[in-house]
A and B are shown apart, each in its own frame.
Chain A
Amino acid sequence: MPFIPNTEADREAMLGVIGKKDIESLFSDIPASRRFPRLKLPEGISELEVLKEIESMSAKNLGSGQAAWFLGAGAYNHFIPSLVPALASRGEFLTAYTPYQPEVSQGTLQAIFEYQSMAAELLGMAVVNASHYDVATALAEAILMAWKIDEGRRHILLPADLHPEYKEVVKTYFSSFDVDIVEYSGAPESAPVDALTACLVAGYPTFTGEIYALEAGAKKAHESGALFIAQADPIMCALLKSPGAQGADIVVAEGQALGNPMNFGGPYLGMMGTTEKLMRKMPGRIVGEAKDHEGRRGFVLTLTAREQHIRREKAVSNICSNQGLVMLQSCVYMAAMGASGLRTVASLCNDKAHYAAARIAEIPGFKVLTKTFFKEFLVSTPKPAAVINASLAKRRIVAGLSLSRYDASRGAELLVCVTEMNTKAEIDRLVAALKEVSA
């Protein structure tokens, strides 16, 4: 039997030490009528056979390796340097548990501390936690954090132009609580902030790629005693002012773009950072510096009085397992890229997206709707975007997201994403194909 290193003789000897005659007698607490039910599962097969089977299953997907890829919308096709998976897949990182025993977990703990430090710099926050499941749940927990400061402030302002799936997750997380989730359009400073507002949320950029300066919105929120929460693109933050520098109280971001594959939607990395003032209200694990009795520097999980294993029903969140390994990948990615590498990646995205947008805007019937953007922009199409997508997929071009996926009334809008992975030749192919299918 694979992965079970005991022989029949071992089992017999062990039963002898225990003082039982057979294995079944170890299960006598389970009523006999319910013990050892039949499992209707296919018979176990060898590693060789399993890997063949799974390889052929995985080949049934159309992935970014086989097409010119312009689809983003929350999952981004960025370059992953080879050292990222090589280091993160080391067994010492991969097969360790949560670092509850700090003396034998300094590798994981120091890496988390380094991630926290680099992510805090990138997002412009005083402190970043060790991860949430993804940006959608990080956003939901950030809003919970803001609301719990004063539950009487029951208005939550979300941008109408927020990823529809993130909106749904926020609604699920608040489905037991008496709050009003209000959507606003346009710049964050145009949101209807009032004395009952718990927080004003802004995209940086929004779902369809629009970049708004955040400062005026943050000021407006603060004047009413509300918090300002930004959901940011971490790569964009390498080139543009961080949300923290513009007054955000909490920043969340999808860290998948920082060194993690698209993986059909997970596992991803929910990044969350906040100010020094609010750090004791933040959910999630946090690592801090500590000293041993000889004065040596080490790292420990800290501020644990916020967490479920200490506070149980009074904890700030139920989160326990997080996205440790994904965080590690992003940590290695940021260390390898450094300031200049990350800025290069961001510039390539910005330049190529603007080149693509300018070329698409020249095609009759197409119009670029997003005014100020970074790597993703919205295009109105002369034919249903889903139809365009289907015919381009046959030419191994994935043109973007038809907004009809989430809203049937927006069938003529295509969300296009361009990253450092797209060459000029690919962009030109996309433009030629869009022209041809819509002629």
Chain B
Amino acid sequence: MNLVQEPLVFELSNPGLVGCSLPNSDVPKAILPEGLVRESLALPELDELTVVRHFTRLSQKNYSIDTHFYPLGSCTMKYNPKANETAAGMAGWRNAHPLAGDANSQGALELIYKLQSSLAEIGGFAGVSLQPAAGAHGEFSGVLMIRDCLKAKGQTQRVKMLIPDSAHGTNPASCTMAGFVTQTIPSGKDGNIDLKVLAAALDDTVAGIMITNPNTIGVFEKNIAKIAKMVHEAGGLVYGDGANMNALTGVFKPGKSGIDVMHFNLHKTFSTPHGGGGPGAGMIAAVAELVPYLPGPIATRKSGKYALFMPENSIGRVKAFYGNFGVLVRAYTYIRMLGAEGLRRVAETSVLNANYLRARLEKVYKLKYTRSCMHEFVAMGDIEPGIHTLDIAKRLIDYGFHPPTIYFPLIVPEALMIEPTETESRRNLDAFADAMLAIAKEAKTNPELLHEAPATTPVGRLDEVAAARCPVLCYRG
């Protein structure tokens, strides 16, 4: 960690410098439109080396998978193979234009087609669109597909989407954007959907249900087939949130178990990097009945040539062009390297690693749900009076670990949501468990260490309330 305060790029500016050499013009000077000429442009001016040092130093103020164990629950912070980057950086992709026409884009269309097919097979679905740019974008697409499919059946009174209380916030937010109202379904004692509550909610205004499986407490929705049957019999459809698909590749096919439409986060399960917030890819998969509604265009193969087409009753375009293509290249590279056997081993090991950590911690960090977990588990951080999850999280930083997801899911108080992923060795898991247990001891003997943590970072805990009250969102000279 670089602890030295780094000035803002504006504070490094020295007017007259430029960080890139550009050619002289080889054509006559053209005029600019009258009345529209811009007088001033107050961007910083720096030499190339200053820019390089500035951003290198900034990078050293981050924890990342490449530098630290990053057990962020529901985010699947697995190793992002460097081969993915080599593949995505090839000139044939970088320089490809989205409107060059099918004939000039056969390589890109082949990759899209093959990735569509692979993902459909992994999920047990009939068709896939790679258009959505992120998980939430896939959810939005999927619920629009449900809306249009129901509309085609004359079921326009179905305006309500059911969402378990353990769901990600994007689920209800996506429903609102698709014109649905939402109803929260509380979880039962075992962390699964309460079937009695569900049965009572299933009237003829229900469009469907959004299910994350494994759910955000890290347990498998045991009754998934039964739930799907109940919803289908009531005239609704079932949406699958694939955020936690890393537990299921080669283990379980959602499309064969009652899920009608589902997104996968390629930036989680399929090892594409998170990039400090994105870009992701939230491809959407559907069973045969819903395939005609997929967002498009999607790729197809006819007499040896690849081409793009819009599905018959498509919800339309959800972004310009064809999804986050560079991310798709990375996911395809990963799937080709692992194959079927590797993907199953991924899921198995992610579940093994999570259960191992859980076993090492559960005596000290209590669990609200004690069933064996899938790829992640949720512990609670209130291990001593006056100690909160936030304190544990911040103290972990001093031990050189990125904290788990905290205070989510909302149904577990003081939640610490831990997802180790399959790419961590037993040695790394042990080091993390040892740190967690050492912190629990400190909580008894020296709680100030926790309250004052982190002590080893460029800044301490920041005053977020003040930052939101009087926002400074731009450099102000």
- Say whether B51 contacts A336, CB under 8 Å: yes
- Nearest residue, chain A, Cβ from B178: A176
List of B residues within 8 angstroms of A107 by Cβ: 58-62
Q: Is A318's CB within 8 Å of the partner chain B? A: yes
List of A residues within 8 angstroms of B175 by Cβ: 313
Choose the segment among B106-114, B232-240, B380-388 that binds chain A (4+ C-beta atoms closer than 8 Å). B106-114
Q: Mark A35-46, 1 if CB is under 8 A from B, else 0.
A: 111111111111
- Say whether B458 contacts A5, CB under 8 Å: no
- Say whether A317 contacts B336, CB under 8 Å: no
Please classify the interface of chain B as helix (H, G, I), strand (E, B), loop, or mixed, using the class held by over half of its residues. Answer: loop
A265-B111 Cα distance, complex, nearest whole Å:
14
CB within 8 A of B250: which of A39, A117, A262? A39
Q: Interface size bucket, B side?
A: 35 or more
CB within 8 A of A45: which of B18, B94, B336? B336
B91 to chain A, nearest CB (A): 5
Q: Is B345's CB within 8 Å of the partner chain A? A: yes
Mark out the residues of chain A between 150 and 182 whose CB falls within 8 Å of any chain B CB in the assembled complex. Answer: 163, 165-166, 168-169, 171-173, 175-177
Query: 24 A-B Cβ contacts within 8 A?
Result: A1-B338, A18-B358, A40-B340, A45-B339, A54-B90, A60-B107, A83-B52, A95-B64, A95-B65, A97-B277, A100-B405, A104-B1, A168-B316, A169-B319, A176-B147, A264-B96, A264-B325, A313-B172, A323-B277, A324-B274, A324-B276, A338-B13, A350-B30, A352-B25
Q: Is A71's CB within 8 Å of the partner chain B? A: yes
Choose the segment among B198-206, B283-291, B419-427, B434-442 that binds chain A (4+ C-beta atoms closer than 8 Å). B419-427
Q: Is B412's CB within 8 Å of the partner chain A? A: no
- Nearest residue, chain B, Cβ from A73: B99
Q: Is A436's CB within 8 Å of the partner chain B? A: no
**Which 5 A-B pairs give the minimum distances between C-beta atoms?**
A265-B321, A58-B92, A176-B179, A44-B339, A325-B275
Q: Is B187's CB within 8 Å of the partner chain A? A: no
Mark out the residues of chain B between 321 and 346 whose CB falls within 8 Å of any chain A CB in the assembled complex. Answer: 321-327, 329, 332-333, 335-346
A53-B339 Cα distance, complex, nearest whole Å:
15
- Say whether A81 contacts B20, CB under 8 Å: yes
Q: Is A420's CB within 8 Å of the partner chain B? A: yes
Known A-B contacts A63-B94, A92-B66, A312-B169; A120 and B459 likewise in contact (beta carbons under 8 Å): no
List of A residues within 8 angstroms of B27 by Cβ: 351-352, 354-355, 424, 427
A106-B30 Cα distance, complex, nearest whole Å:
43
Q: Is A391's CB within 8 Å of the partner chain B? A: no
Known A-B contacts A266-B323, A300-B464, A352-B27; A289 and B472 likewise in contact (beta carbons under 8 Å): yes
- Say whether A288 contacts B90, CB under 8 Å: no
- Say whether A51 contacts B140, CB under 8 Å: no
- Say whether A127 contacts B173, CB under 8 Å: no
Choose the segment among A192-200, A303-311, A360-368 that binds chain B (4+ C-beta atoms closer than 8 Å). A303-311
Q: Is A294's CB within 8 Å of the partner chain B? A: yes
List of A residues within 8 angstroms of B394 by Cβ: 103
Mark out the residues of chain B between 417 and 463 whose CB falls within 8 Å of any chain A CB in the assembled complex. Answer: 422-426, 454, 457-463
Q: Is B256's CB within 8 Å of the partner chain A? A: yes
- Say whether B278 contacts A322, CB under 8 Å: yes
CB within 8 A of A305: which of B36, B133, B397, B468? B468
Q: Is B391's CB within 8 Å of the partner chain A? A: no
Q: Is B135's CB within 8 Å of the partner chain A? A: yes
- Say whether B62 contacts A104, CB under 8 Å: yes
- Say whether A325 contacts B58, CB under 8 Å: no
- Looking at A114, A211, A343, the one whose CB has the most chain B CB atoms below 10 A away is A114
Q: Is B302's CB within 8 Å of the partner chain A? A: no
List of A residues within 8 angstroms of B60 by Cβ: 92, 107
- Looking at A97, A163, A237, the one whose CB has the most chain B CB atoms below 10 A away is A97
- Using a Cβ–Cβ cut-off of 8 Å, how many residues does chain A contribute to the interface with B? 205
A147 to chain B, nearest CB (A): 12
Known A-B contacts A111-B55, A291-B466; A117 and B10 likewise in contact (beta carbons under 8 Å): yes
- Say whether B467 contacts A292, CB under 8 Å: no
Mark out the residues of chain A between 324 and 368 whose CB falls within 8 Å of any chain B CB in the assembled complex. Answer: 324-328, 332, 334-345, 347-348, 350-355
- Say whether B426 contacts A328, CB under 8 Å: no
List of A residues within 8 angstroms of B66 by Cβ: 91-92, 94-95
List of A residues within 8 angstroms of B349 by Cβ: 4, 6, 11
- Say whether A71 contacts B55, CB under 8 Å: no
A120-B42 Cα distance, complex, nearest whole Å:
10
- Say whether B26 contacts A266, CB under 8 Å: no
Known A-B contacts A290-B464, A334-B43, A427-B27; A312 and B320 likewise in contact (beta carbons under 8 Å): no
- Say whether B38 contacts A58, CB under 8 Å: no
List of B residues within 8 angstroms of A53 by Cβ: 336
Known A-B contacts A23-B352, A96-B62, A266-B133; A4 and B345 likewise in contact (beta carbons under 8 Å): yes
- Say whether A63 contacts B275, CB under 8 Å: no
List of A residues within 8 angstroms of B265 by Cβ: 321
A97-B69 Cα distance, complex, nearest whole Å:
12
Mark out the residues of chain A between 276 and 309 whose CB falls within 8 Å of any chain B CB in the assembled complex. Answer: 279, 285-294, 296-300, 302-305, 307-309
Mark out the residues of chain B between 112 and 161 whose CB falls within 8 Å of any chain A CB in the assembled complex. Answer: 118, 121-122, 124, 133-137, 139-140, 144, 147
Q: Mark A71-95, 1 if CB is under 8 A from B, else 0.
A: 1011101010101011101111111
B213 to chain A, nearest CB (A): 10
- Say whether B474 contacts A116, CB under 8 Å: yes
List of B residues within 8 angstroms of A112 by Cβ: 276-277
CB within 8 A of A292: which of B51, B75, B463? B463
- Nearest residue, chain A, Cβ from B424: A5
Mark out the residues of chain A between 123 and 157 whose CB falls within 8 Å of any chain B CB in the assembled complex. Answer: 126-128, 130-131, 133-137, 144
List of B residues within 8 angstroms of A268 by Cβ: 320-321
Known A-B contacts A241-B36, A294-B460; A262 and B97 likewise in contact (beta carbons under 8 Å): yes
- Say whether A37 contacts B256, CB under 8 Å: yes
CB within 8 A of B92: which of A15, A59, A308, A315? A59
- Looking at B315, B472, B473, the one whose CB has the most chain A CB atoms below 10 A away is B473
